[in-house]
């Protein structure tokens, strides 16, 4: 059995052991090495709240896409109006709230092999051939940097080991006519010196939501292809380690299902829609990186990470959820980014030091088309076209030292100073007449235009530009004490920062295009972790309090006009607990729990005072419980049963909660009540051969993952995005 999940929060549950076969050798937990502090440590040595999983452990829990991570991590929510495309991570209540534009950075920093991914479109990745995933909860403004007010997620892919040849091939089939295939191959070209590894992932399936419209396409289909190549070179005596990686992928599935205009929901089941214009979610992502580590001496190493990434999205969304042409949107963006990081690690007598600098530049160029039925007059369709380019640059210097005050007591002090500059350029938008999929006829320029839509003459050469900049000092102070039994107790203060932002959602008037202040979080945390019962039990837990300032949220006004504003003050109070218990060589149980109490202390939207409301995507309780049980042996192979149940209490999709500033609004609809999702996996394994059957959302739970109210802008409905129904299937894998 293999399951490695350890984190900085946990409680113990003891399962009955009667009837379980015992192995002759002692049953112990495997250790996992993490790089949460930019150096290799066991997870129990790190005074941070962390969840870490191997790729195989995630597969056993039914997590095959980054959008599924909420099934494994406490106080983590993943939501999106586009299904698994452009996922929005919410960690401990910190999220993008009701902001959905592609130019905004996530407050949860997402990394692949320590490379920061600025664009949220690139976050919707399939998980394959992974070494591990590390989820760091709490601000990571010291060693990971900007835009980590809520935490950081680091996906570490498998690379060449420089020892032998290996690989695997897997094929699977499931309901909705879903075919999956993936594989990897690794070759050592020179023992201990040169190796390569290549991996590929493919998935294609029909839509998971039934469309009753005659001849209509089914939403939530899948069509994904991803590839990755790694080259590792360790020349000479091994002091230099060079890792070169390249990846590329594309997705061509249909749009996420939308529950919209209520008259056209009559008679439909939860997993059904009546929509004539189901579009495609087309995304592409690619990137290259060079990680070069030089061990200068036994105490000093220098690491350089250079990366260049890019991609694009073309999302065609029928937002009305009806057979009428009321609101159809085409979201298009191209993005590119470059990052260069240089850092040094030094270990002295009683202390360790990490210090360095980083430069990053990212651009996103956006062309959005909003088709609105009967916008100009009854039966006269029209809409808006929007174009802009955003360029962001960031520089930072950082350092952290861990100093042993005594054998068990360590003081950690870190600081980072970040300089950000941004530019919104070539902004233009216009009002047009024309039908959906027709040729638009421009009527009036809306950007740049300070007045209401339609009041400025059309000028194809008019452009709007705006600059924004800011800087921030972030850091960390922690005390940690390690007891003789290995228990680590820590208390910490962390400050996080998310850079200022332009309002990418304003296209009806340039008065809505603004630059808002950065977000800041002052986080206070105490926690403990350890391994017990002869290394059969891992426990960890944390209590935390956040002073959260200037969350960036959208204020939707009639017109329609989106205005990006800051929520002046919020607070987050919470606790987390996780455990992993190896009962025997054939049975292990794992679980976690997260508690949250969130509140806006100051916030006004649409003229309504929302002080006292809960933050969106912040359920008061999340809990996971699962086990791995080797139930029998068959044909000299082991049969293992691995179910996981995840519970989420009620969460709001909007800062309004149930406040309705307009008579036409019913914001209480924008919520999801408490629900439980169950995934299960049954596998037979022998001599590198593995046959698995699985079911995700086993009991076909009906739940929404996202909601947005457009009635404040004059549209007569909210829209809600349902989560996927039950999926099941089987796969065959051979490892060599």
Residue-wise pLDDT tens digits, 127-148: 899 999 999 999 999 999 889 9
Distance of CA 107 to the CA centre of its chain: 10
- Token pair belonging to 322: 């009806």
User: In the prediction, which pLDDT does 149 show?
Assistant: 93
How confident is the model over 19-28, as a mean pLDDT? 47
- Token pair belonging to 710: 């457009």
Task: Give the residue with greater pLDDT, 662 vs 53.
Answer: 53
User: In the prediction, which pLDDT does 6 show?
Assistant: 36
Q: Give the least confident one: 9-23, 64-78, 94-108, 359-373.
A: 9-23
User: How many Å apart are CA 572 and CA 89, to the nearest integer?
Assistant: 16
Q: Is the pLDDT of residue 22 over 70?
A: no
pLDDT digits (tens, 9 = 90+) for 107-124: 999 999 999 999 888 888
Q: What's the pLDDT band for 1 if we cut at 50, 70, 90?
A: very low
User: How many Å apart are CA 260 and CA 318, to the nearest integer?
Assistant: 10
- Token pair belonging to 285: 């992502």
pLDDT digits (tens, 9 = 90+) for 160-193: 999 999 999 999 999 999 999 999 999 999 999 9
pLDDT digits (tens, 9 = 90+) for 355-377: 999 999 999 999 999 999 999 99
- DSSP string over 351-394: EEEEEEEEEEEEEEEEEEEEEEEEEEETTEEEEEEEEEEEEEEE
CA angle, corner 95, sides to 93 and 101, nearest 5? 160
Q: What's the pLDDT band for 712 if we cut at 50, 70, 90?
A: low
Do 55 and 42 touch, CB atoms closer than 8 A?
A: no
pTM of the model: 0.93
Task: Give the residue with greater pLDDT, 99 vs 434.
Answer: 434
- As a whole number, the mean pLDDT across the chain is 92
In 620-664 the beta strands, taken as DSSP E runs, fall at 621-634, 637-648, 651-652
User: In the prediction, which pLDDT does 690 show?
Assistant: 97
Do 149 and 497 touch, CB atoms closer than 8 A?
A: yes
User: In the prediction, which pLDDT does 2 show?
Assistant: 34
Q: What's the pLDDT band for 19 if we cut at 50, 70, 90?
A: very low
User: In the prediction, which pLDDT does 45 show?
Assistant: 93
Percent of the chain with pLDDT over 90: 82
Q: Is the pLDDT of residue 25 over 50?
A: no
Q: Is the pLDDT of residue 701 over 90?
A: yes
- Token pair belonging to 272: 């059904």
How confident is the model over 321-334, as a mean pLDDT? 92
Q: Is the pLDDT of residue 20 over 50?
A: no
Q: What's the pLDDT band for 249 if we cut at 50, 70, 90?
A: very high
Q: What's the pLDDT band for 53 if we cut at 50, 70, 90?
A: very high
Q: Give the least confident one: 16-30, 120-134, 599-613, 650-664.
A: 16-30
Q: Is the pLDDT of residue 21 over 60?
A: no
Q: What's the pLDDT band for 714 if we cut at 50, 70, 90?
A: low
User: In the prediction, which pLDDT does 485 show?
Assistant: 94
How confident is the model over 607-616, as a mean pLDDT? 96
Distances (CA, A) of 586 to 3, 23, 303, 355, 695: 12, 7, 41, 44, 22
User: In the prediction, which pLDDT does 4 show?
Assistant: 35
How confident is the model over 650-666, as a mean pLDDT? 90
**Which residues contact residue 619 at a Cβ distance below 8 angstroms, ignoring those fewer than 6 apart?**
77, 596, 648, 649, 650, 651, 674
User: In the prediction, which pLDDT does 710 show?
Assistant: 72
User: In the prediction, which pLDDT does 80 show?
Assistant: 85
Q: Give the least confident one: 202-211, 493-502, 627-636, 657-666.
A: 657-666
pLDDT digits (tens, 9 = 90+) for 204-243: 999 999 999 999 999 999 999 999 999 999 999 999 999 9
User: How many Å apart are CA 509 and CA 514, to the nearest integer?
Assistant: 11
**Which residues contact residue 33 at a Cβ distance below 8 angstroms, ignoring those fewer than 6 apart?**
40, 41, 42, 43
User: In the prediction, which pLDDT does 713 show?
Assistant: 62
Handedness of CA 130, 136, 142, 147 (dihedral sign): positive
User: How many Å apart are CA 357 and CA 395, to the nearest integer?
Assistant: 7
Do 446 and 382 touch, CB atoms closer than 8 A?
A: no
User: In the prediction, which pLDDT does 13 show?
Assistant: 31
pLDDT digits (tens, 9 = 90+) for 543-577: 999 999 999 999 987 666 788 999 999 999 999 99
Q: Is the pLDDT of residue 24 over 70?
A: no
- DSSP string over 13-64: -----TT----SSPP-PPP-EE-TTSS-EEGGG--SEEEEEEHHHHHHTT--
User: In the prediction, which pLDDT does 210 show?
Assistant: 97
How confident is the model over 500-522, as a mean pLDDT? 92
Q: Is 713 helix (H, G, I), strand (E, B) or coil?
A: helix
User: In the prediction, which pLDDT does 10 show?
Assistant: 35
- Token pair belonging to 667: 């914001």
Residue burial 475-499, b: 16+ Cβ < 10 Å; e: rest: bbebbbbbeeeebbbbebebbbbbb
């Amino acid at each position: 059995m293999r399951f490695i999940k350890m984190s900085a929060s946990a409680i113990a549950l003891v399962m009955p052991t009667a009837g379980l076969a015992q192995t002759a050798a002692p049953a112990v937990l495997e250790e996992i090495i993490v790089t949460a502090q930019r150096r290799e440590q066991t997870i129990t040595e790190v005074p941070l709240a962390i969840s870490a999983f191997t790729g195989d452990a995630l597969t056993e829990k039914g997590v095959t896409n980054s959008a599924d991570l909420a099934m494994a991590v406490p106080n983590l929510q993943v939501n999106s109006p586009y299904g698994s495309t452009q996922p929005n991570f919410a960690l401990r209540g910190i999220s993008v709230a009701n902001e959905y534009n592609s130019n905004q950075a996530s407050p949860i920093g997402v990394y692949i092999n320590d490379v920061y991914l600025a664009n949220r479109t690139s976050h919707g990745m399939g998980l394959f051939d992974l070494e591990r995933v590390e989820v760091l909860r709490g601000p990571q403004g010291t060693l990971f940097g900007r835009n980590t007010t809520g935490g950081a997620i680091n996906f570490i892919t498998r690379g060449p080991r420089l020892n032998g040849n290996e690989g695997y091939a897997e094929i699977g089939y499931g309901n909705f006519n879903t075919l999956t295939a993936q594989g990897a191959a690794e070759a050592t070209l020179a023992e201990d010196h040169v190796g390569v590894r290549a991996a590929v992932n493919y998935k294609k399936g029909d839509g998971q939501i039934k469309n009753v419209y005659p001849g209509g396409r089914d939403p939530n289909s899948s069509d994904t292809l991803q590839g990755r190549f790694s080259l590792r070179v360790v020349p000479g005596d091994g002091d230099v380690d060079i890792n070169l990686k390249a990846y590329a992928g594309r997705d061509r599935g249909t749009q996420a299902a939308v529950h919209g205009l209520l008259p056209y929901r009559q008679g439909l089941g939860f997993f059904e829609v009546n929509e004539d214009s189901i579009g495609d979610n087309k995304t592409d992502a690619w990137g290259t990186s060079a990680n070069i580590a030089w061990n200068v001496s036994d105490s000093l190493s220098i690491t350089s990470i250079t990366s260049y990434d890019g991609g694009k999205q073309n999302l065609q969304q029928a937002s009305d959820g009806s057979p009428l042409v009321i609101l159809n949107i085409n979201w298009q963006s191209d993005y590119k980014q470059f990052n260069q990081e240089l850092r040094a690690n030094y270990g002295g007598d009683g202390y360790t030091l990490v210090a360095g600098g980083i430069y990053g530049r990212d651009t996103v160029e956006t062309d959005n088309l909003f088709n609105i039925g009967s916008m100009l007059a009854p039966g006269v369709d029209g809409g808006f076209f929007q174009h802009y380019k955003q360029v962001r640059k960031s520089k930072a210097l950082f350092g952290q030292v861990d100093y042993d005050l005594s054998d068990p007591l360590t003081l950690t002090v870190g600081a980072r100073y970040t300089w950000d500059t941004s530019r919104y350029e070539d902004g233009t938008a216009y009002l047009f007449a024309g039908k959906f999929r027709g040729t638009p006829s421009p009527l009036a320029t809306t950007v740049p235009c300070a007045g209401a839509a339609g009041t400025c003459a059309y000028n194809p050469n008019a452009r709007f530009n705006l600059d924004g900049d800011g800087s921030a000092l972030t850091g960390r102070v922690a005390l940690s004490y390690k007891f003789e039994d290995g228990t680590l107790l820590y208390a910490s203060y962390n400050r996080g920062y998310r850079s200022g932002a332009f309002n990418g959602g304003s296209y009806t008037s340039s008065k809505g295009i603004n630059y808002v202040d950065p977000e800041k979080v002052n986080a206070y945390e105490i926690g403990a972790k350890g391994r017990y019962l002869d290394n059969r039990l891992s426990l960890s837990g944390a209590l935390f309090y956040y002073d959260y300032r200037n969350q960036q949220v959208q204020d939707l006004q009639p017109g329609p006009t989106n205005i990006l504003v800051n929520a002046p003050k919020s607070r987050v109070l919470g606790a987390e607990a996780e455990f992993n218990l190896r009962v025997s060589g054939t049975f292990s149980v794992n679980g976690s729990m997260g508690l949250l109490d969130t509140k806006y202390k100051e916030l006004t939207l649409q003229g309504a005072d929302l002080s006292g409301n809960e933050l969106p995507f912040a359920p008061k309780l999340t809990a996971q419980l699962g086990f791995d049980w080797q139930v029998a042996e068959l044909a000299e192979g082991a049969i293992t049963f691995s179910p996981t149940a995840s519970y989420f209490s009620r969460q709001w999709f909007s800062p309004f909660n149930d406040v309705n500033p307009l008579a036409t609004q019913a914001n209480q609809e924008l919520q999801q009540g408490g629900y439980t999702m169950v995934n299960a996996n049954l596998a037979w394994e022998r001599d590198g051969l593995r046959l698995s059957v699985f079911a995700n959302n086993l009991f076909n739970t009906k739940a929404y993952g996202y909601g947005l109210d457009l009635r404040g802008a004059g549209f007569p409905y909210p829209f809600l995005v349902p989560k996927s129904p039950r999926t099941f299937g089987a796969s065959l894998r051979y490892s060599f």
